[in-house]
Structure 1
Amino acid sequence: MNVRSQIKDYIAAQPEPKRSDMQELHDIILGIMPTCKLWFLDGKDENGRVVSNPNIGYGVQTIKYADEKTREFYQIGISSNTTGISVYIMGIKDKSYLAEKYGKNIGQAKVTGYCIKFRTLRNIDIDILADAMRYGIEHTRV
């Protein structure tokens, strides 16, 4: 199954209103990054054990580890969780930046070093979320 089909099936499997919110987020991110590489991670490790929630990724960056090894990974990710949706903004060096810059104005969301977690899109300011994603994309270009 190709990545686009996996993404479509993952979004379709979500209960409402999460399904509509995830589709809207998907469309917003594709509006920001229309030609980006798409990823779908099923949340399983190489042994087939569930280690995380499935997630959709957008864009590509090179992550460099402390041991000097590198690998490609997405820039922006979205995932359904038990209480709502998580948006991952990967690769930002300053782990306090998102919370300091966007946390107070985004609405009802928990903002950490790389994640913005909220119950529904109607609880947050979507324009501020889009600005945060644009910031992450700009600072993780390959």
Structure 2
Amino acid sequence: MSTINQIETYLASLPPAKRADMEQLHERILRTLPGCRLWFLDGKNDEGKVVSNPNIGYGETAIKYADGTTREFYRIGLSANTVGISVYVMGLEDKDLLRNTLSDRLGKATVTGYCIKFKKLADIDVAVLMEAVVL
């Protein structure tokens, strides 16, 4: 199954309200990052065990591990979770950047070093969220 088909299947599997928010964000990210590489991670490890929520990924970055190795990964991740939606901004060198530049303008969201979590799209300022997408 192609990445686009996997993404469409994932979005279709979500409850209606969350699906609508995720589809809006997906389209907005695609408009913000035209031509970016798309990823889909089903949340399962190599043994097929579920270890995370499924993620839609956009763009590319290199993840650097403590042992010095690197691997290619998405730069922006989008995932539905039990409480709401998470947007991951990978590859930031300054782990305080999101908190310091966006959290006071974003709305009702929790901002960590690389993750922005919120319950529903109406709780946040999407334009501010898109600033994080292009950091």
Q: Match of 1:108?
A: 108
- The letter for the 2-side match of 1:44 is K
Q: Deviations over 1:59-111 (max 9, x none)?
A: 11122222221110000000000011000001111111101110111000000
Instruction: Give the paired residue count.
Output: 135
Gaps of 5+ in 2: none
TM-score normalised over the length of structure 1: 0.92
State the 4+ residue runs in structure 1 displaced beyond 3 angstroms: none
State the shift of 1:115 in Å.
Answer: 0.5
TM-score by length of 2: 0.97
2:60 aligned partner, one-letter code: V
Query: SS of 1:5's equivalent?
Result: helix
User: SS at the partner of 1:105?
Assistant: helix
Name the CA distance, whole Å, in 1 between partners of 2:36 and 2:133. Answer: 14
Q: How does 1:46-125 map to 2 (within 5 A)?
A: 46-125=46-125
- Give distance in 2, aligned partners of 1:104 and 1:87: 17
- 3-state SS of 2:16 partner: coil
SS of aligned partner of 2:23? helix
**How much has 1:11 moved relative to structure 2?**
0.6
2:33: which partner in 1?
33
Identify the residue that residue 17 of structure 1 maps to in structure 2: 17
Unmatched tracts of structure 1, length 5 or more: 136-142
String of CA shifts for 1:101-127, please: whole Å, max 9, x gaps. 101110000000000000111110000
- The whole-number CA distance in structure 2 between the counterparts of 1:106 and 1:129 is 7
Identity %, equivalent residues: 55
